[in-house]
């Protein structure tokens, strides 16, 4: 039996998750996500996959973030016709994410054609709404956690709760051909334990090989209670200045978690009662509705909280789906807390709110998540005096807050705890910036007698 692994995305980088497993003529893909970052990074989305999409028997999806699922319609367009397996919650969320991505690509392509007629690549979207809808036809009914399912002859998969976002999973593959047996676990993105909404990640199971994310492998996160208090402080201080708070927000998990804390702050008096809260993201609004339908993913304490009031239906919260409702927010001079996508500011409605608030000293911009190199969010965080938004240079005069404790990714201590002390034949590190989290985490594992591999894109590693 020959068993091999090739990393076709998130190799010595954070985004673009795409992992190929080959065994006895069968080919299984784990994730098929978008590359996110600067223009050069995102250009990789239009490049060939590095394999023939029509040869893939099945795609297993760890979760619904765009950098894990965003290229699925392109995969289908280029010939994939196999099975797509995911948890029930992921299956629902992916529909929202892919349809939103197709719409945004159409908008960006139209804008590029108007403003940069020489850039043919920018003017061509990766896929359209029809492609996204067609891709959804290949999804099978949702898989339950810890439910064994035969993917192809000789390979059984189990989806294990990863605690990252609703429906997120690590995936264990048990491979059996004749007398030979190997097991491989893909961590997917791992959540931080102790979050208020979702259960903690399940520890890594016994497996010969571990393909593991290490986005924050170089540091611990700030404590969550301190981060919550800093968020309340940012809102209070901005309200006193009669300014607005803009929070670039990831639609899946982060938006819902922030609403939960803001609800607590308003109930407890830590946030002024006159503050108006806007969830200005159609995708986040849809995701919040999906949240309500999947209590099987919730932490028990959060289930108890729901019996005393729905934090997603608090007084003063406005869901703004339409473009006209979104634009009307910019008429508010002060006292608004605006949660808008995207979290890295590389698309979505948040760019409009930045255009209207970055130049105002009274306002604040609060970052509560990861920002990849080359993104608008990273440039603001790094202290740019001005940034370009919609082809206009906007001075950065608003107060900028960076609150790191809300990350939905496991930090270094949590990653080490997840991996545990079980014997492994090999650990392979993916989903990390090579000169930061990945290299630092590799040094720690090597110091413990477990030197990992850090595969490059397209590098084939023989597992048996």
Q: Please give the full DSSP string across 92-111, using - where no structure is assigned.
A: HHHHHHHHHHHHHHHHHHHH
Is 406's pLDDT higher than 80? Answer: yes
The string over 105-120, giving b where at least 16 C-beta atoms fall within 10 Å of a residue's C-beta and e elsewhere, is: beeebeebeeeeeeee
The predicted structure's pLDDT at residue 179: 85
The residue length of the chain stands at: 464
Q: What is the mean pLDDT of residues 357-374?
A: 92
Max Cα separation, the chain? Answer: 71
How many CA atoms lie less than 13 Å away from 45 in the CB half-sphere? 30
pLDDT band at residue 128 using 50, 70 and 90 as cut-offs: very high
Q: Compute φ and ψ for 222, nearest 5 degrees.
A: -65, 155
What residues does each domain of the chain span?
3-219+408-462, 224-406
Give the N- to C-terminal CA distance of the chain in Å, as an integer: 7
What's the topology of domain 3-219+408-462?
Answer: Metallo-beta-lactamase; Chain A (3.60.15)
Q: What is the mean pLDDT of residues 306-312?
A: 71
3 state SS of 276:
strand
* Whether the Cβ atoms of residue 343 and residue 406 lie closer than 8 Å to each other: no
The predicted structure's pLDDT at residue 346: 83
For 39-71, write each residue's pLDDT tens digit: 888 899 999 999 999 999 999 999 999 999 999
Q: Given this structure, which CATH class describes domain 224-406? A: alpha beta
CA triple 439-198-168, angle to 5 deg? 60
Q: What is the mean pLDDT of residues 443-448?
A: 96
Percent of the chain with pLDDT over 90: 75
pLDDT band at residue 345 using 50, 70 and 90 as cut-offs: very high
Is 313's pLDDT higher than 60? Answer: yes
Dihedral of CA 367/188/451/449: which sign?
Answer: positive
For 225-248, write each residue's pLDDT tens digit: 999 999 999 999 999 999 999 999
**How many whole angstroms separate alpha carbon 302 and alpha carbon 46?**
41
Q: What is the mean pLDDT of residues 195-216?
A: 95
The three-state DSSP-derived secondary structure of 392-433 is: EEEECCCEEEECHHHCCCCEHHHHHHHHCCCCCCEEEEECCC
* Whether the Cβ atoms of residue 432 and residue 445 lie closer than 8 Å to each other: no
Is 204's pLDDT higher than 60? Answer: yes
Q: What does pLDDT average to over the chain?
A: 92
**How many whole angstroms separate alpha carbon 357 and alpha carbon 368?**
18
Sheet holding 336-340, edge to edge: 317-319, 276-280, 336-340, 245-248, 364-367, 399-402
Percent of the chain with pLDDT over 70: 96
Q: What is the mean pLDDT of residues 100-112?
A: 81
The predicted structure's pLDDT at residue 451: 96
Please identify which residue in the block is written with the tokens 């629902």: 92
CA triple 18-23-29, angle to 5 deg? 20
* Whether the Cβ atoms of residue 355 and residue 391 lie closer than 8 Å to each other: no
pLDDT band at residue 251 using 50, 70 and 90 as cut-offs: confident
Is 185's pLDDT higher than 90? Answer: yes
**What DSSP state is assigned to residue 308?**
T
Q: Compute φ and ψ for 284, nearest 5 degrees.
A: -65, -35
281: tokens are 């993201």
**How many whole angstroms separate alpha carbon 52 and alpha carbon 29?**
11
51: tokens are 């394999």
Dihedral of CA 214/215/216/221: which sign?
Answer: negative
Taking the model in full, what pTM does it have? Answer: 0.90
- Percentages of the chain per state (helix, strand, coil), in multiples of 5: 35, 25, 45
């Amino acid at each position: 039996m020959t068993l091999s692994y090739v990393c076709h995305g998130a190799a010595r980088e954070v985004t673009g998750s795409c992992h190929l497993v080959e065994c006895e003529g069968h080919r299984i893909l784990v994730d098929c996500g978008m590359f996110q970052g600067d223009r050069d990074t995102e250009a990789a989305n239009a490049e060939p996959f590095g394999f023939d999409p029509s040869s893939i028997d099945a795609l297993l999806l760890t979760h619904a973030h765009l950098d894990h699922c965003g290229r699925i319609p392109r995969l289908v367009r280029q010939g994939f016709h196999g099975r797509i397996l995911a948890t029930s919650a992921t299956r629902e969320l992916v529909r929202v994410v892919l349809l939103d991505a197709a719409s945004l690509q159409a908008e960006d392509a139209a804008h590029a054609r108007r403003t940069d007629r020489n850039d043919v690549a920018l003017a061509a979207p990766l896929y359209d709404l029809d492609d996204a809808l067609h891709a959804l036809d290949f999804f099978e009914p949702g898989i339950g956690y810890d439910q064994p399912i035969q993917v192809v002859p000789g390979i059984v998969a189990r989806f294990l709760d990863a605690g990252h976002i609703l429906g997120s999973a690590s995936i264990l593959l048990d491979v059996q051909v004749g007398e030979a047996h190997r097991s491989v676990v893909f961590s997917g993105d791992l959540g931080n334990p102790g979050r208020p909404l979702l259960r903690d990640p399940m520890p890594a199971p016994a497996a010969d090989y571990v393909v593991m994310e290490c986005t924050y492998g170089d540091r611990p996160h700030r404590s969550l209670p301190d981060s919550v208090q800093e968020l309340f402080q940012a809102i209070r201080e901005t309200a006193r200045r009669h300014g607005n708070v803009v929070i670039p927000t990831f639609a899946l998990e982060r938006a819902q978690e922030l609403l939960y804390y803001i609800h607590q702050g308003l109930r407890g008096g830590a946030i002024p009662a006159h503050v108006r809260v806007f969830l200005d993201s159609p995708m986040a609004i849809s995701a919040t509705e999906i949240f309500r339908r999947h209590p099987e993913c919730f932490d028990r304490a959060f289930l108890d909280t729901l019996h005393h009031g729905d934090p997603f239906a608090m007084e003063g919260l406005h869901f703004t789906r339409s473009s006209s409702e979104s634009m009307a927010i910019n008429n508010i001079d002060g006292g608004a807390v605006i949660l808008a996508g995207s979290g890295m500011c590389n698309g979505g409605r948040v760019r409009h709110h930045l255009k209207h608030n970055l130049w105002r000293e009274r306002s604040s911009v609060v970052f509560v998540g990861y920002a990849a190199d080359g993104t608008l969010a990273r440039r603001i965080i790094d202290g740019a005096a001005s940034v370009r938004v919609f082809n206009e240079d906007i001075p950065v005069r608003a107060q900028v807050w960076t609150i790191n404790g809300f990350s939905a990714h496991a930090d270094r201590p949590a990653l080490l705890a997840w991996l545990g002390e079980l014997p492994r034949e090999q650990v392979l590190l993916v989903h990390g910036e090579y000169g930061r989290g990945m290299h630092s985490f590799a040094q720690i594992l090597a110091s413990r007698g477990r030197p990992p591999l850090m595969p490059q894109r397209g590098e084939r590693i023989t597992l048996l």
